[in-house]
Amino acid sequence: MAKFLFETLPLAARGWQVQLLCCLYLEAWAYVEKEEMRRRLLGRAENSTRVDDNEEVIEKRLSGFQADTEPLLQFFKAEGQLLTVDGGRAPEEVFGDIRAELSEAAQEA
pLDDT of residue 1: 46
What is the Rg, in whole angstroms, of the alpha carbon atoms belonging to the chain?
16
Residue 44: CA atoms inside 13 Å, Cβ hemisphere, count? Answer: 13
List 26's β-bridge partners, or say none.
4
Residue 18, pLDDT > 60, answer: no
Q: Please tell me the distance from the alpha carbon of residue 36 to that of residue 15, in angstroms, as a whole number.
A: 31
The CATH code that applies to domain 26-108 is 3.40.50.300
Q: Please tell me the distance from the alpha carbon of residue 82 to that of residue 104, in angstroms, as a whole number.
A: 14
pLDDT of residue 109: 64
List 86's β-bridge partners, or say none.
31
Residue 67, pLDDT > 70, answer: yes
Residue 13, pLDDT > 50, answer: no
Percent pLDDT > 70 in the chain is 76
Residue 11, pLDDT > 70, answer: no
Could you tell me the pTM of the whole model?
0.68
Task: Give the containing element (helix H, strand E) for 28.
Answer: strand 27-31
